[in-house]
Amino acid sequence: MNTITLLQPDDWHAHLRDGLALERTVPDLAKQFSRAICMPNLVPPVKTVEEAEAYRSRIMAHVPEGIEFDPRMVLYFTDQTSPKEILKIKKSEHVNAIKLYPAGATTNSDNGVSDISKVYAVIEQLEKHQVPLLLHGEVTHNHVDIFDREKRFLDEVLSPLMKQFPGLKLVLEHITTSEAANFVLEHDRNVAATITPQHLLFNRNDMLVGGVKPHFYCLPILKRQTHQQTLLEVATSGNPKFFLGTDSAPHSKNAKENACGCAGCYSAPTAIELYAQAFDQAGKIDRLEGFASHFGADFYGLPRNTSTITLVKEDQIIPESLDYLDGEKIVPLYAGKTIQWRKL
């Protein structure tokens, strides 16, 4: 198959940042996806429906002419989030979910939840109103090995949470391990997961063998190849509980190539082609449309898109870098490398 046509895909997990960054990130994402869940980990974070609407307007101001893009917004869960805010989400036109970062887990997560058992009153409202809880599923204790943090989250935080709130609708974001994939498989259809292109295409050897490659560093960190294999299996299985979420997360070249480099891979400009590459390598390109264009919308209770895109099997070289902010550069995921798919 050298050409495939898909319903327009959506990205159910992306970081656009704010201010000048939007000049780069919004056009890149809007050219690829019809809708995107815009993550709220700004400084300061997006904590209320009102703040989310204001952020959405700033995003909309950067959508290129002639392109339709519908940013779907998410609130940032803090220790102070009011249970009343959940009903506001339910009634809002543009806000679809709330994102829980365990405090300290990743970029701009300092205002995240310090102890999930302290916010059960809010989670009760989420379950009641069927508002999705989006999870950065890693524990943050210093003594827990970075490669074990997702598994420990499942055992120590998520399993007890699911026992307490069995009807909770949740997305385990950017899963990286077989344990997370199995957790999703073992629960009913209220429990779903997003998977990034980097976790399908790469493993920790790509990041660490032959020198440290900071542009592969993201959180949760790339795991060993057996986990990559499981993620490929579930993503290409046709199971609607697994869908596309790039976690495209821009950081300038200087911030990545640094003694203390930031976590995040910038995949937005060629995201759908990167996924096509992964699905094709697995011999499952025919399963891309469900993963990229059907299952996320179905989970969120939003209509599927109606327009289509076409991908051709044709080499393209990912640029070495792109302009970012005022005179800075950003290095996209797999920069300088050739992939076999191109979006028309």
Distance CA 299, CA 189 (A): 9
Residue 333 touches ligand DOR, criterion: CB under 6 A: no
Q: Which of 32, 81, 96, 106 binds ligand DOR (CB under 6 A)?
A: 106
In total, the chain counts a number of residues equal to 344
Residue 227 touches ligand DOR, criterion: CB under 6 A: no
Degrees, nearest 5: CA angle 18-21-27: 105
Asked if residue 247 belongs to a known ligand binding site, the reply is yes
Residue 267 touches ligand DOR, criterion: CB under 6 A: no
Residue 127 touches Zn ion, criterion: CB under 5 A: no
Distance CA 17, CA 251 (A): 10
Distance CA 6, CA 13 (A): 19
Q: Interhelix angle for 49-60 vs 84-91, to 10°?
A: 40
Tokens linked to 253: 């070249």
Amino acid at the residue 274: L
Q: Based on CB atoms, which residue is closest to Zn ion, 247 or 273?
A: 247
Per-residue x/- track, 40-79, ligand DOR (CB under 6 A): -x--------------------------------------
Buried b (16+ CB within 10 A) or exposed e, 40-75: bbbeebbbbbebbeebbeebeebbeeeeebbbbbbb
Residue 218 touches ligand DOR, criterion: CB under 6 A: yes
110 is catalytic: no
Nearest distance, CB of residue 212 and ligand DOR, angstroms = 15
User: Are the C-beta atoms of 202 and 227 separated by less than 8 Å?
Assistant: no
Number of helices (H), then strands (E), in the chain: 14, 13
Q: Based on CB atoms, which residue is closest to ligand DOR, 216 or 299?
A: 216
Number of residues that bind ligand DOR (CB under 6 A): 11
Asked if residue 41 belongs to a known ligand binding site, the reply is yes
Dihedral, 55, 101, 162, 182 alpha carbons, nearest 10: 100
Residue 249 touches ligand DOR, criterion: CB under 6 A: yes
Residue 247 touches Zn ion, criterion: CB under 5 A: yes
Could you say which of Zn ion, ligand DOR, none residue 56 binds, taking C-beta under 5 to 8 angstroms by partner kind? none
Tokens linked to 286: 């025919």
Residue 264 touches ligand DOR, criterion: CB under 6 A: yes
Asked if residue 199 belongs to a known ligand binding site, the reply is no
Asked if residue 325 belongs to a known ligand binding site, the reply is no
Question: Which is the catalytic residue, given 247, 280, 315, 326?
Answer: 247
Which are the catalytic amino acids?
247
Could you tell me which residues are annotated as the binding site for Zn(2+)?
A: 13, 15, 99, 136, 174, 247
Residues that bind ligand DOR (CB under 6 A): 15, 41, 106-107, 136, 218-219, 247, 249, 263-264
Residues that bind Zn ion (CB under 5 A): 247
